[in-house]
Chains A and B, each alone.
Chain A
Amino acid sequence: MSFTLESGVPTGPIENSWNDYRQNSLKVVNPANKRKYNVIVVGTGLAGASACATLAELGYNVMAFSFHDSPRRAHSIAAQGGINAAKNYQNDGDSVWRLFYDTVKGGDFRAREQNVYRLAQVSVDIIDHCVAQGVPFARDYGGLLANRSFGGALVSRTFYAQGQTGQQLLLGAYQALSKEIHSGKVKMHTRRELLDVVLVDGHCKGIMVRNLVTGQIERYAADCVVLATGGYGNVFYLSTNARKSNVTATYRAYRRGAGFANPCFTQIHPTCIPVAGDHQSKLTLMSESLRNDGRVWVPKQAGDRRSPKDIPEGERDYYLERIYPTFGNLVPRDVASRAAKRMCDDGHSALAHTNAVYLDFGDAVKRLGKDGVKDRYGNLFEMYERITGDSPYETAMRIYPASHYTMGGLWVDYNLQTTIPGLFAIGEANFSDHGANRLGASALMQGLADGYFVLPYTIGDYLAEAKPGNDDTTHAAFNDVENEVKAKIDKLLSINGKKSADSVHRKVGKLIWDKCGMSRNREGLEEALRVLPELKQEFWTEVNVPGSHSNLNLALEKAGRVADFIDFAEIMVRDALTREESCGAHFREEYQHADGEARRDDENYQHGAIWEFTGDGNVPNRHQEQLEFKYVPPSTRSYK
């Protein structure tokens, strides 16, 4: 088994590439033929729901799958802050070029220029479309759309709906999907979890899912398959991801031959509510938008445990403003996270029992008044107070970084196709546009760009060459895959130990957070590689999965996901170990400048690292996709 990595990016002038490519290179399926093709879409978050709706509008027959009870529940719904678009409605000099430039630079020169440019171009169409759908974005009193700023940008290009932008955009896509379910063009299958993809003659032609209510293993066949199954941030156990978000779909595709790109590029979000105790089940994000008006600081004196109100101005270190005067509190996420970690490592934590820094709205309340602050952040402040019992209007928030988003994902070409023909990956599930670090408000942009405006064109290029109407689930490949997934379920149910899957997941998460989290080094990564097999052994001998396979069994669902997380963690660690440089969210302690800033190595690592599965127990192959920068010459990313 082996694959070649042909990104297929157009080579002409970047400003016209996507248009030229659509007009001259992409094959088109004629409208009468589109209705002969069957497409499977797994996952109905922003990327999946928008793709389903648009493919159905074009005439394709879509089968959509979600493990939720309703497509409206996907984790996209929890995105708070906003969505970027190069509209330049603020007349502050924004442009497609500037959004492209910021995103390439923000990603620390580890993303494809052509992909990012396309993303910036379609960003403007997304806003138009969502407004037409009735998404209630924030507006000024004149009735026009409002914007705010996010980290890594010097312009205001972020559109938002209070602190619930993801919810409103997802509901827009969900409603568009609902319309197509009503019209009969989409057949929606809820409460189905993908357990594997099925390849026929090297092409992805179907999926194997578990009906989560009846426990039945079900087969579905189509002309191609789209994975929109999100990221793997829950590998850390504690993260801001929803509890059900998992790596199984993309990891299973990897085992069938899809290359997994840059798994070590995981984003740690700087502003989350700190860990409160061992019982903690998840971490809650506080939107990056808070850094528009909140000021980040720690006590100058290490170990100063006075209430923040009692620490006078002169004894506070506004370290982001001090170290990065140009961007100040709005430095990109990786920079802000590492700075917080350094402050706490040096003893300046705001809390005794756990790490935290202050995010202070005292000045904002003075400047805007309490009502002004409430208008911008009211629901976030409420959420914070509900969890911690403190009011941010009165007392500075305490925050600390947490796992939030994964830039890594299935490798895809310019058409968003993985190394398996007929298998596409969109949204957070792929690795495409964010390089080594994603800028705030760009995840919603990328998910919707893929689903509404990219995949619906590029999928035709594959389908035009495929014989339409595949619905054959009797091929021997389906039998083989079904036997494998059933064997795994039987094995899980027969371990009969004493521990919950969660308890092992917690250990794996802590190991990966400590050794492969905000900063990494060779020694720690090698130790993780030694310990992971022990945890895998512990899982497969000591876990207990009660209940049966033939009904609703949440313990079984959870155990299957944890098993895949453990195996996946190994590729993540290997990726971090073999990338001997610091770039974006990947910070190797051995590779830093004297001032503690990341030292990138363009000579040796200006590439994507793509992992190929070579069988259980074997070290996977590492492939490289060399990146070229013709338009934004790589520079040291400075936010000072």
Chain B
Amino acid sequence: MKVTLRVWRQSGSDSSGEFKEYPAEVIEDMSFLEVLDVINEDLTAKGEEPIAFEHDCREGICGSCGAMVNGRAHGPGDRSALCQVHMRQFQHGDMIVVEPWRAEAFPVLKDLVVDRSAFDDVIQAGGYISVRTGSAPDANALPIGKPTSDEAFNYAACIGCGACVAACPNASASLFTAAKVSHLNGLPQGQVERAARTVRMVQVMDESGFGGCTNHGECAAVCPKGIPLKAIARMNRDLVFAKVTGADSDAAAK
């Protein structure tokens, strides 16, 4: 079948960009990124610069890929990263608009590639349990109920792709931050640093240029891993708790 991709091209962070159209002959079994491969192969043969886009594992787990496809983060798939979208989800003759994530905290580097290092800053602020290598007790010394463990896993499944930010009208990173907060704060191992972790991660999230959460829920709707919105409620609850108990001043001291 024939489709046309209308792709955002921008040569660097400081340059202005524009849409360019690329017709492509595709088959249904192709993944969306393979269509970009085919277009790029063609551009290369013509001596033009290929479309820059991030990708790596191509099985929906590394979180590298992502773009707005027809206005939706990661395109039409349900719980899919862009690499998991196949052309059988489109029709012959479709015009498909492809844009990079748009958020102040994710500046465009080139074409569809954006800088998501603000996510790393948020994790570095407290998205971990402090345990020195070699100092852990036996793994079965602390039983953890299966529901607790399963819930932690569901939050921990976040792939850090940035779709939640791109889909949010406020470009908020609340779902991303809350997923890590909820993963660690829900486990018994995570209790010691619970208050400080929440305060510091939220603080860095706010400082990084992400907007605030106003409960639109777009983030959870496009999340490839189905991280639920209640993660944000949990984060806010722990934040309030930290403020009320004065743990936020302890966190600031760190």
Chain A residues engaging chain B, CB cutoff 8 angstroms: 50, 53-54, 57, 68-75, 77-78, 87, 89, 125, 127-134, 136-145, 161-162, 164, 167-168, 171, 174-176, 178-179, 181-182, 188, 190, 213, 242-244, 276-277, 279-282, 284-285, 382-383, 386-387, 389, 452-453, 456, 496, 498-500, 502-503, 544, 546-547, 551-555
Contacts and interface: CB of A to CB of B under 8 A. Distances in A.
B208 interface: no
Contacts of A143: 143-146, 149
Contacts of A161: 153, 156
Contact of B125 (A138, A171, A182, A244): A182
Contacts of A544: 44-45, 47
A133 B129 CA distance: 5
Given A145-B139, A546-B43, A555 B49 contact: yes
Interface core residue of A74, A282, A285 (most chain B CB under 10 Å): A282
Interface stretch (B33-41, B96-104, B166-174, B245-253): B33-41
A87 B33 CA distance: 42
Closest 9 CB pairs of A and B: A143-B143, A175-B128, A132-B136, A136-B153, A131-B139, A128-B136, A242-B56, A500-B44, A136-B152
9 contacts: A139-B146, A143-B146, A143-B149, A144-B143, A179-B128, A281-B34, A387-B86, A500-B45, A555-B50
B196 interface: no
Given A281-B31, A502-B41, A54 B187 contact: no
Contacts of B52: 552, 554
Contacts of A179: 124, 128, 130
B28 to A, nearest CB: 9
B210 interface: no
Contact of B129 (A132, A139, A188): A132
B58 A243 contact: yes
Given A125-B134, A134-B184, A386 B156 contact: no
A506 B120 CA distance: 35
A78 B62 contact: yes
Contacts of B41: 500, 502-503
B54 A69 contact: yes
Number of chain B interface residues as a range: 35 or more
Contacts of B56: 68, 73, 75, 242-244
B140 interface: yes
B177 interface: no
Interface core residue of B60, B88, B190 (most chain A CB under 10 Å): B60
B30 interface: yes
A539 to B, nearest CB: 13
B124 A78 contact: no
A187 B4 CA distance: 44
B156 A171 contact: yes
B107 to A, nearest CB: 11
Given A182-B124, A386-B80, A546-B44, A134 B140 contact: no
Contacts of B29: 276-277
A552 B133 contact: no
A416 to B, nearest CB: 16
Contacts of B139: 87, 127-128, 130-132, 137, 145
Nearest to B119: A70
Interface in B204-222: none
Nearest to B63: A73
Contact of B44 (A181, A182, A555): A555
A633 B79 CA distance: 51
Given A162-B153, A164-B157, A213 B59 contact: no
A297 B124 CA distance: 48
Contact of A552 (B113, B119, B126, B127): B113
A53 B140 CA distance: 24
A75 B57 contact: yes
A56 to B, nearest CB: 10
B6 to A, nearest CB: 20
B134 A129 contact: yes
B134 A139 contact: no
Contact of A145 (B47, B126, B140, B160): B140
Nearest to B60: A383
B115 A69 contact: yes
B91 interface: no
A558 B247 CA distance: 49
B57 A77 contact: yes
Contacts of A174: 123
Contact of B146 (A73, A141, A171, A386): A141
Nearest to A240: B59
Contacts of A383: 59-60, 84
B189 A75 contact: no
A483 B30 CA distance: 42
A474 B56 CA distance: 35
Interface core residue of B43, B119, B125, B140 (most chain A CB under 10 Å): B140
Contact of A386 (B27, B84, B116): B84
B165 to A, nearest CB: 14
Nearest to A186: B124
A603 B43 CA distance: 55
A73 B137 CA distance: 29
B18 interface: no
Contacts of A282: 58-59
Given A136-B187, A171-B156, A53 B50 contact: no
A136 B159 CA distance: 15
B37 A502 contact: yes
B45 A175 contact: no
A236 B30 CA distance: 20
A177 to B, nearest CB: 9
A142 B157 CA distance: 23
A556 to B, nearest CB: 10
Contacts of A546: 43-44, 47-50
Contacts of B27: 277, 279
Contacts of B124: 178-179, 181-182
A417 to B, nearest CB: 20
B175 interface: no
Nearest to B80: A386
Contacts of A453: 133-134
Interface core residue of B47, B113, B153 (most chain A CB under 10 Å): B153
B63 A242 contact: no
A455 B73 CA distance: 41
Given A70-B117, A276-B29, A456 B133 contact: yes
Contacts of A171: 156
Contacts of A178: 120, 123-124, 127-128
Contacts of A389: 88
A91 to B, nearest CB: 12
Contacts of B157: 164, 167
A282 B33 CA distance: 11
Nearest to A174: B123
Contacts of B240: none
A74 B57 CA distance: 9
Nearest to A143: B143
A541 to B, nearest CB: 15
Given A129-B134, A281-B34, A546-B44, 5 more contacts: A75-B62, A128-B136, A242-B62, A280-B34, A555-B50
B195 interface: no
B126 to A, nearest CB: 8
A130 B125 CA distance: 20
B207 to A, nearest CB: 14
Given A53-B133, A281-B31, A137 B88 contact: no
A554 B153 contact: no
B128 to A, nearest CB: 4
Nearest to A498: B45
Contacts of B47: 496, 544, 546
Contacts of B109: 213, 552
Contacts of B189: 131-134
Contact of A133 (B33, B49, B77, B128): B128
